[in-house]
Chain A
Amino acid sequence: NAGVMQNPRHLVRRRGQEARLRCSPMKGHSHVYWYRQLPEEGLKFMVYLQKENIIDESGMPKERFSAEFPKEGPSILRIQQVVRGDSAAYFCASAQGRSYEQYFGPGTRLTVT
């Protein structure tokens, strides 16, 4: 049973470009959380999604960030017009249900030059 997969593992973007981060949950998991870890900071919750629904995006920056979890395929975290401050490690976690244990992927390390 494969774990949570994220790709790419490393992503370099120039300021103003778009970044797309993908997360494939564990088999049987329909709940996905995205977290961001800024340098020297703890992990912060960004968004919680179930299939085809955003349940809570209270941790997402108001502009340039969006997330989706379609019926088929991985969850996508999209950052438009990236800035240097977006450089961070982005982790997703999946769970069987709303209150179940979360399993984390290896993360995508985004560097904005």
Chain B
Amino acid sequence: KQEVTQIPAALSVPEGENLVLNCSFTDSAIYNLQWFRQDPGKGLTSLLLIQSSQREQTSGRLNASLDKSSGRSTLYIAASQPGDSATYLCAVSDRGSNSGYALNFGKGTSLLVTP
């Protein structure tokens, strides 16, 4: 059974800092990995999707890497801003599972960027 872990659970940084969020998963036979952002009381916004054959994806100030063999992904946020404050969720989709590629989520990293 796939287990997804995110470290740290919470993070507080001053505005302008670069930061790294970590995600690990136990079964390397994944189909893809997604990073989401969730604001309090809101839905999920997809940030980056990395297919299993890819090593990284970039969007603006965000860069996500994937090391399937070691079961790890990192989300790098450059020049953080107060508007980046949210919970960041990592989710992996297992290849070939009966659940039609349902996502297995970590519990998230709660990020606070202070002005």
| Contact (Cβ within 8 A) B43 A58 | no
Residues of A in contact with B (beta carbons under 8 Å apart):
31, 33, 35, 41-45, 48, 55-56, 58-59, 91, 93, 98-99, 101-107, 109
| Contact (Cβ within 8 A) A91 B99 | no
Nearest CB in chain B to that of A4: its residue: B43
| Contact (Cβ within 8 A) B42 A42 | no
Give the total of B residues in contact with A, Cβ under 8 Å.
Answer: 26
| Contact (Cβ within 8 A) A44 B101 | no
Of B14-22, B65-73, B77-85, B104-112, the segment with at least 4 beta carbons within 8 Å of chain A is B104-112
Instruction: List 22 contacting pairs A-B, 8 Å CB cutoff, sorted by A.
Output: A31-B100, A33-B102, A33-B103, A42-B89, A42-B105, A42-B107, A42-B108, A43-B103, A43-B105, A55-B99, A55-B100, A56-B100, A56-B102, A58-B98, A58-B99, A99-B101, A103-B46, A104-B44, A105-B43, A106-B42, A107-B42, A107-B43
